[in-house]
Structure 1
Amino acid sequence: MTALVFLVALLVTNALDERQSDVWNLTASVVIGGAALIVQYLVDFEKRLEEIETSQSGLIRDVKENLISHHVALTDLVDDRFRRINAATELFSNVDRSVLRSDAVIKLARRATECGKLNNETLKTFASEEIERLAGLLENLSSRSADCLGENQDWLIGLTHCIKHSLDATSTSVDHDFWTSEPASRYLEAQSDAIARGVEIRRLFLVSSPDDIDDELTELCSNQRALRIDARLVALSELPSWAQPGTQSDFIVFDRELSYEIDQDTKDVNAKTTLNARPTHVEHRLRQFTRLWDATLRLPHQGFPQPET
């Protein structure tokens, strides 16, 4: 571009004044070409300066946006961590204030964390399922009712270990096979321990008619009375209508506060276990048991076998 301006300037100076020497014409062309070069340089410099300013503006804008985004993310992260810390602090404060054993709850949390660090996916998955199951049970218990499929004998034995005052139970024909099982031995052992603590245990073995009372059932009742369980046999057909239970489901009332119930399906198989601590329901079960018990004591033989004197 500068060379072109130089040539044009040289031709123009030669054409305008042919009398000037070649040195003059050459000098004028050089000056004009140099001026053009400077102008071109300044124009290019201005363009590059504008490009740099534009690029720097975009860079500064991107940096500002990134800083704002980073600040927002960092703020959210800090807020989330503080919320978790506050939640954990509140949780452990509630545990300390509750009647539950805080050391056991803390131990559960610590052991759950340790299981999560193990390099064993099967074990970690099983631990997670068990924690979820326990959390679901505690959530249901907080609403005073929980249930599970089948007969939960662990609940039965665990509750017997917890009672302090009384255990009132009914046992129908569906329950008779249970008494020859291994869990029954642990259940009776737990009852013996409870009696040693001063717990009063009463049990009614219910049958439909006196014909259903055989030697095996009589021996079962006698064996439990030998353990200081106030056990009695009663035929429902001999009871007045006001004492009839209405349903044949087995139930156990622990400390007059919680009812453990077993529901049967159409084939008289134990289908579901329910824990119910709602006061109205527990009171209903207590009235039902009291009617049965009082009516049994009014029978001429006072149930089978005869109470020991």
Structure 2
Amino acid sequence: MDGEPGTRSGVQIAPVVLKTLITVVVGTVAYVITNLIDQSQEELWKLAMSIVIGGSALIVQYMVDFEKRLDSVETGQRARTRELHDHFTQLSEAAGLLKELDQAGMSTSDARRLIQSATQVGRQGPEIVRAFARAEIESLASVVTDLTGMTAHWQRDNNEWLIRLTECARRTIDATSSSVDRPFWDTDPAGHYLDAQKQALLGPGVNIRRLFMINAAEEGERDFMDRFMALCQGQRDLGIKVRFMVLSPQRHTAARDIVIFDSALYLEFEPDRQGSNLQTRLDADARRVDGQVRRFNDLWEAATEPSPDPATQPQTR
């Protein structure tokens, strides 16, 4: 291959052979030159000079080759050192993050399990599984990142948040339920929600209050009130404290569905113009949470306890 050292016409020449040939050529040239320079010198001296010059040429070749190899080794060592430095930096950062996670009261074992499982899925799973895993991790990261500002949003009903927060509650769950929320109680997620509340009530000191809000027209319908009182009684049988409030034109109370957990954060279900739950908002800002707690307590004090017979209920004040 033309242009490659140590080759000729596609035949590769060993480096040692090549250096020997160069030395012989240099020695021969030196011998000829010594003959031309001084014809009076003895033949032995001429030969010695040729050997010395040829040997010097060989030594110089090895020195140049050694310098190249040394430079290559140093370059590789620097690259390896940079790789090791980057690797240890990443390990140090990961260890620091896990330490901070532990100091913040979070589970480092769950974080490790998430990373290990995500790595395994990325290596073994089909593309659709990897895409789904990436989407779930991105969703989780987005929610946790939002929580650094004490709020998080979901662009539809999020019953998973509702149930998970119910499982996390340790003291109180205070909830309002308006006409927007009424169809929810006939769905499967409502059953899971009530099951979670039953489990929460088994814990020491957990108190659950639910305030239903109905309008004046609904109060006048006997069939509606029969179904409504059955709903209230069913929840009271579970140990949930239930009251209701009749909304009238004179009482301008916003019919918003809010669930307050441990007086520390709340979920708010914001309806669209058609009255359907569109967005779920989690808020843990202390000032706003305190406002919601005071509002709920005021409404609770003004509300009425249900009785089995709707006819015994007081009329709207």
Task: Mark yes or no: TM-score above 0.5.
Answer: yes
Do the aligned partners of residues 37 and 288 (structure 1) sit closer, same or farther apart at CA in structure 2, a change above 3 Å counting? same
CA contact (8 A) 1:234 1:304 kept: no
Deviation string, structure 1 residues 205-261 (Cα, Å, up to 9, x no partner): 112x32223222222122111222111221122875xxx44x332110001011111
Amino acid across the alignment from 1:254:
F
Could you say which residue in structure 2 is the equivalent of 1:184?
190
> In 1, Cα distance between the equivalents of 2:158 and 2:32?
103
> In 2, Cα distance between the equivalents of 1:65 and 1:85?
30
**Structure having the higher Rg:** 1
Please state if 1:286 is matched with 2:286: no
CA-CA distance at 1:145 after TM superposition: 1.2
Do the aligned partners of residues 53 and 186 (structure 1) sit closer, same or farther apart at CA in structure 2, a change above 3 Å counting? same
Q: Secondary structure at the match of 2:259?
A: strand
Amino acid across the alignment from 2:133:
A
Could you say which residue in structure 2 is the equivalent of 1:262?
269
Deviation string, structure 1 residues 245-304 (Cα, Å, up to 9, x no partner): 4x33211000101111111111112111111111011111111111211222xxxxx254
Amino acid across the alignment from 1:136:
S
Do the aligned partners of residues 305 and 234 (structure 1) sit closer, same or farther apart at CA in structure 2, a change above 3 Å counting? farther
> In 1, Cα distance between the equivalents of 2:71 and 2:294?
72
CA-CA distance at 1:73 after TM superposition: 2.4
> In 1, Cα distance between the equivalents of 2:169 and 2:32?
108
Q: Secondary structure at the match of 1:164?
A: coil
CA contact (8 A) 2:151 2:282 kept: yes
1:47-196 → structure 2 map (5 Å cutoff): 66-67=72-73, 69-196=75-202
CA-CA distance at 1:53 after TM superposition: 7.5
Do the aligned partners of residues 239 and 217 (structure 1) sit closer, same or farther apart at CA in structure 2, a change above 3 Å counting? farther
CA-CA distance at 1:66 after TM superposition: 4.6
Amino acid across the alignment from 1:168:
D
CA contact (8 A) 1:160 1:194 kept: yes
Deviation string, structure 1 residues 44-91 (Cα, Å, up to 9, x no partner): xx9xx99x979x86x788667655543442232111111111012112
Q: Secondary structure at the match of 2:248?
A: helix
Amino acid across the alignment from 1:274:
R
> In 1, Cα distance between the equivalents of 2:138 and 2:36?
79
CA-CA distance at 1:37 after TM superposition: 10
Do the aligned partners of residues 68 and 152 (structure 1) sit closer, same or farther apart at CA in structure 2, a change above 3 Å counting? same
Q: Percent identity among equivalent residues?
A: 30
Moved more, 224-233 or 172-181: 224-233
Amino acid across the alignment from 1:269:
S
> Which residue, out of 199, 202, 212, partners 1:205?
212
Could you say which residue in structure 2 is the equivalent of 1:14?
none
Return 5+ residue gaps in structure 1 as ranges. Answer: 1-33, 297-301
Could you say which residue in structure 2 is the equivalent of 1:25?
none
> In 1, Cα distance between the equivalents of 2:272 and 2:76?
61
Do the aligned partners of residues 294 and 71 (structure 1) sit closer, same or farther apart at CA in structure 2, a change above 3 Å counting? same
> In 2, Cα distance between the equivalents of 1:128 and 1:256?
34
Do the aligned partners of residues 38 and 195 (structure 1) sit closer, same or farther apart at CA in structure 2, a change above 3 Å counting? same
Deviation string, structure 1 residues 75-117 (Cα, Å, up to 9, x no partner): 3211111111101211222233332233322222222222122
Please state if 1:276 is matched with 2:287: no
> In 1, Cα distance between the equivalents of 2:108 and 2:125?
29
Aligned CA RMSD, in angstroms, stands at: 3.3
CA contact (8 A) 2:175 2:259 kept: yes
Deviation string, structure 1 residues 124-143 (Cα, Å, up to 9, x no partner): 22212212221222222233
Which 4+ residue blocks in structure 1 deviate beyond 3 angstroms? Answer: 34-40, 59-72, 303-307
TM-score by length of 2: 0.71
Please state if 1:220 is matched with 2:226: no
> Which residue, out of 242, 250, 263, partners 1:231?
242
Deviation string, structure 1 residues 167-208 (Cα, Å, up to 9, x no partner): 11111111111001001001111111111213111111112x
> In 2, Cα distance between the equivalents of 1:87 and 1:35?
69
Q: Secondary structure at the match of 2:87?
A: helix
Q: Secondary structure at the match of 1:266?
A: coil
Query: What is the number of residues matched between the two proteins?
Result: 263
> In 1, Cα distance between the equivalents of 2:250 and 2:211?
13
Q: Secondary structure at the match of 1:274?
A: strand
CA contact (8 A) 2:267 2:282 kept: yes
Amino acid across the alignment from 1:251:
I
